[in-house]
Structure 1
């Protein structure tokens, strides 16, 4: 049972009092470019839910796309919701608060549709965690008209069965058009009286790419595996939805700029979708076919708009195989021409060694040396042929040698162990390859710094790949192979890390399982499993107990080799690549015969293209105008070289902005300068930074009416214009209130303040005057403090707090002097003088007023 009946309405104050919560900026929700609509103008409230914490979810590009597609519709409000951290969840339960959206703090249960993104099998329990936090029944069949429709999309839906019981609908494939078709159907259903939930599900069932689990009954095959059989009036197989032309697809030209430190803290430009390299282990390479490239003119238009709208200092090209973009060097020239004068770095994700040219690498390092990653996947040429990784060792060696010669100090390599037909000789070849690459570094001189970072993961035979019939190696065997490699690579210049084999085992089970896994997932959640993708939260023992409790053997899903003609739990999902093609590729793999990329050879007959609406789209085949940077003929982007002046800016930090940390505020101002169009001077070196200097770091949770920082800006920009432009680019709660020329440091500009005055407002308790009188009358008032080194010392508050003044029963002002060897905060005074409990102190609003 969920706590659907026990959830109270959302309390606005609860979400404004985040003191004591880890990384509270995860929950405040007014980042640059966020969209908040007037609820009275909205017909459909759509929650974009990601079953992970904010910094993971905001790194998912799909949420950005859907957020802007939906919010372009005037009568739809799309808002985001992420899994709360364990500390916030405990407080929510204690105070009976439901899970809410970021933008408006609307309870998740009050939305009309909730759309979850399923990117990783080990987030499945987090879906239940979020549903329970919202008071929504787990089982879709137990939901009535008072709760939202819960839908899912993302790559995990190509085998929907382990999670199908929890969703009203699941989307297979590209979501851009499907989501609007579903919302239009909802609007029509609502306008026609919203007869029943099933009525809307029937309307959704006819949309290409939409799977309605309740319209498919379960049938058990001869081996005990459960298959889905359609009922009347629904498709026998769900065909993957595909966007045929990326140039016509929606793109968020004003992406959200997250707070904190998201996993991918940069602007991302999707330059292509799909990959036809045909790596036989790669699920994404099969389920996103065919290759569709954006034109250079479209990419450059999007890049200019998004850099201006976000202020990002890093731009990354997004695709399954960026190096295969057919006009990559031409695109890089155009991007670098725009980004280099703006001090915006351009980076590439993991790239095939045979696609790395020295001119391309020179272009990448012009602004900043970003990461350099190669994925050989297997150590021997024999095994690379089996998996169709058309890459020879010479390509790998040359790419690494070029990287070191151009100044890179770290090269990252990715390998898998447990690939089909793998033998110990292949592991020997992997070790020899890595050692040989280390030797390349040594050839540049014994004093040359550099490292080879090697990552290892256990191969998981995913659905809809040529290896979907193959078994996954056991946990014990995975440990044997990993330990063998690690032991032989323990030497200076090489670091080795791997994914825990138990994690890979569970991922394989949930990726390849049938609908019986849903009961296991729910039981595991009840046993406390959540955030399973985090090593410090993963509890393999509880998962095994859940399988035992439900009578399900997990090894049956992963350790048995399947026959090529036997039914599979995901056969009712049509990814457009045919099963005949996958079987043929499996046979070629066992023979060690590669299949060429259809971009460079003839069609391989995979079935993804109809050659009418859907076919490969390559930039090299486009008209010259689409292969250019989009600027009118004769127009060249030239850097502007201003003169610089130093100014002091005064600003306030109020409301929920007080939960931004010092680094977040620094990044906010750096990006606000870019968005405002005000030129700021940069430092020199490999990692140029804007020349901003803050006097002191304001602790998280403290508001302030009197913060300052220095900036070196274009001398032609007057202070009034600077303030106006910056305020337009800043978020609510951060405001510039003054600007003046900086006095040179030699004339005493850098002076140390002798303290600060704070105003404290309580929400639960009041200030007892008797406690203040005791403090005022005491000759000394000592407290103990223990520093990070474990050294405890006594501090006399009377020497540091010269004045405390009560303003009312719930507010006071206090002045704290700077102590030479101690840092005290208002919280320390509240704790010592009034002995308030921690929850009262954490919820107090503290503002620095002078």
Structure 2
């Protein structure tokens, strides 16, 4: 089916299958097989000698996939949900879990979107896997083997509901306060609707053994990265920037064992010279200098690395990257304002940024890409002006370097300290302000669509009342126009629907309010996130008083 693929680890010989799993990525093959997370779960499923695994994407799928006992989806980007619905429709599976019967496969999903807040999609999935795949997937498979003995679909789901890292949305009832209309207010309670299921399902966290490393299992020139072998260097991030889902959802911070990492690279080099090091910030690895030293001088290696932190760069690291073919680096500064970086807990000074760019130029790299965010909580016009000032200064000082500035607008993410903060309604104007001032001095500014960021925020902080909107959007092509139409119709016609944009996207949520994902986030973590949010507000007030 996928003739250009090369498997790097032998697949088990399967003479029979106890049951089969259809494993989908809700996008094209080119995008899906480039994802390390999708490949990791595929390997976890495929390694079981008694399970048949068939892969599917929006543009191709393996023969016989419709007959699988279970359909699974990795869900890493909110806007891919429409593709999930389309795949279900293609296979004649009801979109709503409540409408499925014994003739339909069970539908499960996992990934960061669902672990953070599965509630807008609760009507779609029978089963949600919470936490790291390395423990959530084996737990699910073990629980499903036992559940298959049950006589009915409902009894199977009841059996699964008590397994670690598994959440069965249909067994939980959400009640809402009345505001202007019946049920259009905030959440009053989230409780089990059947006896015998946990009130607070919990995610599973993977404690890797010393020799563990997540890496590519399959290479193909048809993927987005081509024949690049990917290796996870770190998981999560110790800095814990207050807006960042990667920091807080995947805690604790874990760094791959250096020997295991190098062994994985050696495996990759048997098949390709292209190696990609992955992580929220790969140079945060406490022994990255050692990693660089052990890779340096390899003539058979072309290295690519993900985003790095400015304060971790050194002459040695950069010279190693240059010697291995790296021509640019990516640094997330978020804002040129020292004040705002402090509020968001970026832990990065302007002096460190200036020093890093000087090192980049001295090392002989050709370009540098910065990431920034407009509309962060507590941002002022002066903060935007600081971003323009800093990048203007850098561009004038380092004329040889090509500067790219990718800027998005703040999207509040569930299970982060800024989950209570709404989006800035002026994000579009702010993005244009930055683009206008930096483009004219030769910086390649690449703003993301603030309209689509509104939709991401809606899905990130949404609840079960959004399901009719999601269904309508998918039925009407899924474009921005479909979203606007569906939101307008929901506001007009659905009695229990609050004003969609004001309620889900733009408002600041009171701290005492029950969040859609409160039953999936323990109280200790909620308090921890709240302290972070309080600290951000205190720093903002302090800086305002001093100005």
Fold similarity call, TM over 0.5: yes
Q: Answer whether contact 2:143 2:163 (CA < 8 A) is retained.
A: no
User: How far off is 1:590 after superposition?
Assistant: 1.0
Q: Whose Rg is larger?
A: 1
Structure 2 residue 508 is matched with structure 1 residue 561: yes
Q: Distance in 2 between matches of 1:499 and 1:575?
A: 33
Structure 2 residue 15 is matched with structure 1 residue 31: no
Q: Distance in 2 between matches of 1:265 and 1:421?
A: 43
User: How far off is 1:371 after superposition?
Assistant: 3.0
User: How far off is 1:383 after superposition?
Assistant: 0.4
Runs of 5+ consecutive residues of structure 2 not aligned to the other structure: 180-184, 492-496, 542-547
Segment drifting more, 584-593 vs 419-428: 584-593
User: How far off is 1:294 after superposition?
Assistant: 1.9
Q: Distance in 2 between matches of 1:54 and 1:577?
A: 40
Aligned mate of 2:285, from 325, 334, 350: 325
User: Which residue number in structure 1 is paired with residue 489 of structure 2?
Assistant: 549
Q: Deviations for 1:596-648, whole angstroms, at most 9, x for unmatched residues?
A: xxxxxxxxxxxxxxxxxxxxxxxxxxxxxxxxxxxxxxxxxxxxxxxxxxxxx
User: How far off is 1:316 after superposition?
Assistant: 1.8
User: How far off is 1:526 after superposition?
Assistant: 1.0
User: How far off is 1:139 after superposition?
Assistant: 0.9
The DSSP-based 3-state class of the residue aligned with 1:119 is coil
Q: Distance in 2 between matches of 1:237 and 1:29?
A: 45
User: How far off is 1:313 after superposition?
Assistant: 2.2
User: How far off is 1:423 after superposition?
Assistant: 0.7
The number of residue pairs the alignment matches comes to 525
Structure 2 residue 107 is matched with structure 1 residue 150: yes
User: How far off is 1:250 after superposition?
Assistant: 6.9
User: Which residue number in structure 2 is paired with residue 696 of structure 1?
Assistant: none
User: Which residue number in structure 1 is paired with residue 175 of structure 2?
Assistant: 219
Aligned mate of 1:163, from 106, 116, 121: 121
Q: Deviations for 1:652-676, whole angstroms, at most 9, x for unmatched residues?
A: xxxxxxxxxxxxxxxxxxxxxxxxx
User: Which residue number in structure 1 is paired with residue 137 of structure 2?
Assistant: 179
Q: Distance in 2 between matches of 1:249 and 1:175?
A: 14
Q: Deviations for 1:515-540, whole angstroms, at most 9, x for unmatched residues?
A: 011211111111121xxxxxxxxx22
User: Which residue number in structure 2 is paired with residue 247 of structure 1?
Assistant: 210
Q: Answer whether contact 1:454 1:497 (CA < 8 A) is retained.
A: yes
Structure 2 residue 238 is matched with structure 1 residue 276: yes
Q: Deviations for 1:481-522, whole angstroms, at most 9, x for unmatched residues?
A: 112111211235311111111110011001111001121111
Structure 2 residue 353 is matched with structure 1 residue 396: yes
Pairs within 5 Å for 1:392-791: 392-442=349-399, 448=400, 450-474=401-425, 477-529=426-478, 539-551=479-491, 552=497, 553-555=499-501, 556-574=503-521, 578-592=525-539
Aligned mate of 1:130, from 87, 90, 111: 87
The DSSP-based 3-state class of the residue aligned with 1:63 is helix
User: How far off is 1:575 after superposition?
Assistant: 6.4
The DSSP-based 3-state class of the residue aligned with 1:241 is coil
Pairs within 5 Å for 1:89-108: 101-102=61-62, 105-107=63-65
Q: Distance in 2 between matches of 1:501 and 1:486?
A: 13
Runs of 5+ consecutive residues of structure 1 not aligned to the other structure: 1-26, 85-99, 443-447, 530-538, 595-850
Q: Answer whether contact 2:186 2:513 (CA < 8 A) is retained.
A: no
Q: Answer whether contact 2:4 2:220 (CA < 8 A) is retained.
A: no
Aligned mate of 1:67, from 42, 45, 51: 42
Q: Deviations for 1:428-457, whole angstroms, at most 9, x for unmatched residues?
A: 100011111102213xxxxx4x31101110
Q: Answer whether contact 2:131 2:204 (CA < 8 A) is retained.
A: yes
User: How far off is 1:39 after superposition?
Assistant: 7.2
Pairs within 5 Å for 1:104-115: 105-107=63-65, 109-115=66-72
User: How far off is 1:30 after superposition?
Assistant: 5.4
The DSSP-based 3-state class of the residue aligned with 1:239 is coil
Q: Deviations for 1:763-786, whole angstroms, at most 9, x for unmatched residues?
A: xxxxxxxxxxxxxxxxxxxxxxxx
The DSSP-based 3-state class of the residue aligned with 2:286 is coil
Q: Answer whether contact 2:161 2:168 (CA < 8 A) is retained.
A: yes
Q: Distance in 2 between matches of 1:402 and 1:331?
A: 19
Q: Distance in 2 between matches of 1:490 and 1:378?
A: 17
The DSSP-based 3-state class of the residue aligned with 2:218 is coil
User: How far off is 1:409 after superposition?
Assistant: 1.8
Q: Distance in 2 between matches of 1:163 and 1:264?
A: 32
Structure 2 residue 238 is matched with structure 1 residue 238: no
Give TM-score scaled by structure 1 length.
0.59
Segment drifting more, 480-489 vs 383-392: 480-489
Q: Answer whether contact 1:176 1:249 (CA < 8 A) is retained.
A: no
Q: Distance in 1 between matches of 2:319 and 2:308?
A: 15
Q: Answer whether contact 1:151 1:170 (CA < 8 A) is retained.
A: yes
Q: Answer whether contact 1:160 1:570 (CA < 8 A) is retained.
A: yes
Structure 2 residue 43 is matched with structure 1 residue 43: no
Summarize the Cα distance change of 1:321–1:577 in structure 2 as closer, same or farther, 3 Å threshold: farther
Q: Deviations for 1:539-577, whole angstroms, at most 9, x for unmatched residues?
A: 222111112333343211011111111111110112686
Aligned mate of 1:302, from 244, 253, 264: 264
User: How far off is 1:63 after superposition?
Assistant: 1.4
User: Which residue number in structure 2 is paired with residue 58 of structure 1?
Assistant: 33
Q: Answer whether contact 2:14 2:49 (CA < 8 A) is retained.
A: no
Structure 2 residue 299 is matched with structure 1 residue 341: yes
Summarize the Cα distance change of 1:292–1:470 in structure 2 as closer, same or farther, 3 Å threshold: same
| Cα RMSD for the two superposed structures | 2.1
Q: Deviations for 1:251-285, whole angstroms, at most 9, x for unmatched residues?
A: 45x61112324157521111222222120011111
Q: Distance in 2 between matches of 1:167 and 1:503?
A: 24
Q: Answer whether contact 2:378 2:540 (CA < 8 A) is retained.
A: no
Q: Deviations for 1:398-440, whole angstroms, at most 9, x for unmatched residues?
A: 1111111222221101110001111110011000111111022
User: Which residue number in structure 1 is paired with residue 544 of structure 2?
Assistant: none
Q: Distance in 2 between matches of 1:295 and 1:395?
A: 28
